[in-house]
Amino acid sequence: MTNATSDPAVTAPEDGAPHVRIFDTTLRDGEQAPGFSMAVEAKMVVARALQALNVDIIEAGFAAASPGDFAAVQTIAREIEGPRICSLSRLNEPDIEAAARAVEPAGKRRVHTFIGTSPTHREAKLKMTRDEILKRISTTVRFACDACEDVEFSPEDAIRTEREYLAEAVQAAIEAGAVTINIPDTVGYTTPEEIYDLFRFLTAGAPEHVTFSVHCHDDLGMAVANSLAAVRGGARQIECAINGIGERAGNCSLEEAVMALKTRKDYFGMETQIDTAKLYPASLALSRVTHHPIPRNKAVVGKNAFAHEAGIHQHGVLADRRTYEIMDAEAVGMPSNSIVLGKHSGKHAFAARVASLGLNADKARIEEVFPDFKRLADTCREVTDADVVKLITGHGGEDGRAGPWRLRRLELRTDAEEEEILPFARITMKHDDGTRQTVQTEGGGPVDAAFAAVCAISGVDGRIVSLDLHHTADGEDTLVNAEATVAVDGKEYSGRAREVDIADAAVAAFIAAVNQAAATAENRKGAPLEGAA
């Protein structure tokens, strides 16, 4: 079995646990999936996140696929230092030449070349015999090694290839100079036991300088489990993608594989060099540039991964988070574990949230307000921080939204025809104390201008951190649900709103967050609490 890594940049972990390389293919296999194609600028955002993660290899694209792909690989090769930069290529000379040229500016480069070896690929796609494919591997992998000092070879659809023939193909590639042999489960067909056994078979007696790699697809939902089983069988490189994106059901998810190896080091006995605190930022960066939200229940990086609503769980987590968590939210770069307040929550969780918001409320006030909290929780899916502020401070008004500021009039304007006029917003807001103010502000866009106007009126110096918008159908109407996160003095506040118009929803959510910051600040100053004894 080969555990060796031939990459001098890879340092052995201090405790001597074998190193598993993380080969990220978000920008190649991931980008190939429908709906995930990325322009060069978007690819650079993801490449920087991968650099921060400290992945071993970035597969930056498929240079021969298009001039745009070539340019993206070349730009990443020029600008990203640290990880080895790789381009995919079919097993033919023009593709390999393009791949080698594209990765040329990188400090460390790789060409990853592949050809189908399974009966279906040989007969239906390539129309080549077994011997013709073996010959192509020998001659063309050698050509690739002359073009680039580090060559990886993949027998595509390896899992459905006859074992003895697969071993011959692997042998031919090693003899021709490939130093990494990747075994792809191209169609997501294998099982953990089967792939473990295959890696034991392939790695037995293989030369020390060769690294075996695994590349799994998720068609049957087993890509991560299969990749980990392959590692147990001798693989020392996992090909994976952020958020598990990739062809069809996707690839092995990078964050899941990395955290499984870290959390169960007692079982796998392996290490990666990933800075796990950068996992959530990388997942978020990909989600933003591709406009695909991270599913709420996604392992490791989903909003629910460290969230608890059930009273029994909340009590346990507040006493010691290990009762219901096997990983630290901070270890994956999430702000903290989150106690979601809802109808299942108890007094412990409510009081803890009041305290974490820095609100002034003694035990008696908590007791007094708790029945109102439960009544509110029964009517909605989640009680927000803004709701908690409203319950404690008593700010609230005729429109049902937490004050102190309420929107009275909103006018947005983008004037494309008159270029000298910048987009602007004119806003009128009313404070609970009866004062009314109108402000007109310019901005990069009208919604941006409206945010600035809200800050000018409220005196809250807020900066938008994120704005999530999605449509839901309510009978005949389509409504927009908005959730804004706003940073004020280093603390984040979130506000929600539901409106027919998208801009109205965005501005109302921003105001809800600003109100939360304003009410919290007032309460901290010791302002008398409405209803307090």
Q: Which residues bind Zn ion (CB under 5 A)?
A: 29
Contact map string, positions 1 to 30, toward ligand KIV, x by CB under 6 A: ----------------------------x-
**Smaller CB distance to ligand KIV: residue 154 or 345?**
154
- Of 284-313, binders to ligand KIV (CB under 6 A) are none
Q: Which of Zn ion, ligand KIV, none does residue 350 bind to, with CB < 5 to 8 Å depending on kind?
A: none
Q: Which of Zn ion, ligand KIV, none does residue 114 bind to, with CB < 5 to 8 Å depending on kind?
A: ligand KIV
Q: Which of 202, 91, 204, 107 is nearest to 151 (CA)?
A: 91
| Residue 184 binds ligand KIV (CB under 6 A) | yes
Exposure string for 43-72, b = 16+ CB within 10 A, e = fewer: bbebbebbbbbebbbbbbbbbbbeeebbeb
**Smaller CB distance to Zn ion: residue 240 or 484?**
240
Residue 367 CA neighbour count, 13 Å, CB half:
4
CB of 184 to ligand KIV, least distance (A): 3
Distance between CA atoms of residues 383 and 94, nearest Å? 59
Q: Which of Zn ion, ligand KIV, none does residue 154 bind to, with CB < 5 to 8 Å depending on kind?
A: ligand KIV
Among 215, 278, 308, 406, binds ligand KIV (CB under 6 A): 215
Distance between CA atoms of residues 350 and 373, nearest Å? 8
DSSP E strands in 421-460: the ranges are 424-431, 436-442
**Smaller CB distance to Zn ion: residue 178 or 388?**
178
Question: What is the total count of residues that contact ligand KIV (CB under 6 A)?
Answer: 10
Cα Dmax for the chain: 89
Contact map string, positions 233 to 272, toward ligand KIV, x by CB under 6 A: ----------------------------------------
Joined tokens for residue 37? 């194609």
| Residue 186 binds ligand KIV (CB under 6 A) | yes
CB of 357 to Zn ion, least distance (A): 46
Q: Which of Zn ion, ligand KIV, none does residue 156 bind to, with CB < 5 to 8 Å depending on kind?
A: ligand KIV
Residue 28 to residues 33, 110, 427: CA-CA distances in angstroms?
9, 14, 46
Question: H or E stretch including 328?
Answer: none
CB of 258 to ligand KIV, least distance (A): 20
CB of 31 to ligand KIV, least distance (A): 12
**How do strand 180-185 and strand 151-156 relate by DSSP bridges?**
parallel
Joined tokens for residue 498? 């539901």
Distance between CA atoms of residues 196 and 154, nearest Å? 18
Among the listed ranges 15-23, 182-190, 271-279, 431-439, the one in contact with ligand KIV (CB under 6 A) is: 182-190
Q: Which of 469, 519, 458, 522 is nearest to 493 (CA)?
A: 519
**Smaller CB distance to Zn ion: residue 29 or 150?**
29
Alpha helix stretches (DSSP H) within 54-115: 67-79, 93-103
**Smaller CB distance to ligand KIV: residue 247 or 387?**
247
**Smaller CB distance to Zn ion: residue 23 or 350?**
23
Distance between CA atoms of residues 507 and 429, nearest Å? 12
Distance between CA atoms of residues 217 and 251, nearest Å? 4
Residue 236 to residues 132, 141, 154, 270, 362: CA-CA distances in angstroms?
30, 21, 15, 9, 56
- Of 78-137, binders to ligand KIV (CB under 6 A) are 88, 114
**Smaller CB distance to ligand KIV: residue 62 or 424?**
62
Distance between CA atoms of residues 160 and 138, nearest Å? 21
Q: Which of Zn ion, ligand KIV, none does residue 520 bind to, with CB < 5 to 8 Å depending on kind?
A: none
CB of 78 to ligand KIV, least distance (A): 24
CB of 155 to ligand KIV, least distance (A): 9
418 and 425 in contact (C-beta within 8 Å)? Answer: no
CB of 186 to ligand KIV, least distance (A): 3
**Smaller CB distance to ligand KIV: residue 88 or 505?**
88
Among the listed ranges 71-79, 181-189, 336-344, 432-440, the one in contact with ligand KIV (CB under 6 A) is: 181-189
Which residues lie across from 245 on neighbouring strands? none
CB of 216 to Zn ion, least distance (A): 8
**Smaller CB distance to ligand KIV: residue 155 or 423?**
155
Q: Which of ligand KIV, Zn ion, none does residue 451 bind to, with CB < 5 to 8 Å depending on kind?
A: none
Among the listed ranges 179-187, 389-397, 449-457, 515-523, the one in contact with ligand KIV (CB under 6 A) is: 179-187
For 147, phi then psi, to 5°, come to -85, -25
Among 74, 75, 118, 154, binds ligand KIV (CB under 6 A): 154
**Smaller CB distance to ligand KIV: residue 88 or 257?**
88
Exposure string for 233-259, b = 16+ CB within 10 A, e = fewer: bbbbbbbbbbbbbbbeebbbbbbbbbb
Q: Which residues bind ligand KIV (CB under 6 A)?
A: 29, 88, 114, 154, 156, 182, 184, 186, 215, 217
